[in-house]
Amino acid sequence: MDAITLGVVQKWIEEHEATLRDSMRESGLPREWEERLAQYPPNSLIPALQRWALLKHFYLTRTEQAERATRSENAIDVARALLRREPVITTLAGNRVEVTGRSYNALANIAAHHLAITDLQGSVARIEQLHAQLLLRYPSRFRRWRIRRRLQYLRTLYGRVFAELLAHRRALYAHALTPDGAPASDVHDGHPAPWWKATSAEDDVRLLVALYEVGPGRYAQLGDPPENEEEKTGYAENFGFHSLLAFVEGDRKLPPAALYDQDLGQVLTSIRAGNLAEKQEA
């Protein structure tokens, strides 16, 4: 094993110090850092190693500060987008569509319809499979009345299940594309997406991805909420949405369920912004 010489450590110091000073060229090193470095002149091995370790520590500190500043700038942009309900652009059935954040009620409706669609798609596939198996097993000239009756039953059942599937898809698109983010009051008349019948399963995926990006995904970019040092309940985000919204409604003297039809990402960001403002004033 090669021994570490003073010359080797001095070379490390030269490289690390040059990198650190170059990264802080505009502001320069803080006075406290310069004073601490001056305590370890690199003219002998032990002080040189101490200076090198200190330079590494300062560089890591500088990197963390830069990353924190970047995250803070990004968080400001994300919060602005949430509060302004800036849309995410996607393409559905060949149409350029602006998808905005959804309210709690709208998200609950979308989740329920999506769950029903997934279940019904499985039922449709199963009916198609059974119908195909009967056709292959019993060619037309060998079909008795019972087989014909079973085939007719499967066709009727397929029509009913497929009609229910289309109704859920129509409702999902209605709740997902209202201008204000509230759930659709009527999924039949005045549908916000009259072209929904031309959409495909791929469009469904694009819509759900856009809904995530504009709402939960965007809100997640704000990072974890600041801890409450006073250990008071305050605007606790671990209440669950029902209790959280009820708490805020009471605090702001709003009618019950007043926030359920407002953009959830906008509401949560507003709560966090208000909470931070209260802490700064205190």
Task: For 28-54, write each residue's pLDDT tens digit.
Answer: 888 898 889 899 998 898 889 999 999
Q: Rg of the chain's alpha carbons, rounded to an integer?
A: 31
Q: What is the pLDDT of residue 189?
A: 74
Claim to verify: residue 97 and residue 203 sit in the same structural domain = yes
Residues spanned by the domain of 252:
241-281
Does 257 lie in the same domain as 151? Answer: no
Query: pLDDT tens digits for 198-251?
Result: 999 899 999 999 999 999 888 888 877 656 555 444 444 555 676 778 778 887
CA distance 43 to 104: 66
Q: Whole-model pTM above 0.75?
A: no
Evaluate if residue 187 carries a pLDDT over 90: no
Do residues 69 and 168 both lie within one domain?
A: no
Instruction: Give the model's pLDDT for residue 277.
Output: 43
Quick check: is 230 in a domain?
Answer: no
User: What is the DSSP secondary structure assignment for residue 238, as one 8-state letter?
Assistant: T
Residues 209 and 167 in one domain: yes
Do 225 and 65 form a contact (C-beta atoms < 8 A)?
no
Q: Which two tokens stand for residue 165?
A: 């599937």
pLDDT exceeds cutoff 70 at 262: yes
**Whether residues 11 and 113 fall in one domain:** no
Distance CA 49, CA 37 (A): 12
Same domain, 92 and 212: yes
Spatial separation of the C-alpha atoms in residues 158 and 94, rounded to whole Å: 28
Residue 228 in any domain: the answer is no
Six-digit token string for 90 = 């996607």
> Which has more pLDDT, 64 or 141?
64
- Look at residue 236 and tell me if it is in a domain: no
115 found inside a domain? yes
Give 281's pLDDT tier (boundaries 50, 70, 90): very low
Number of domains in the chain: 3
Q: Please say if the pLDDT value at position 254 is more than 60.
A: yes
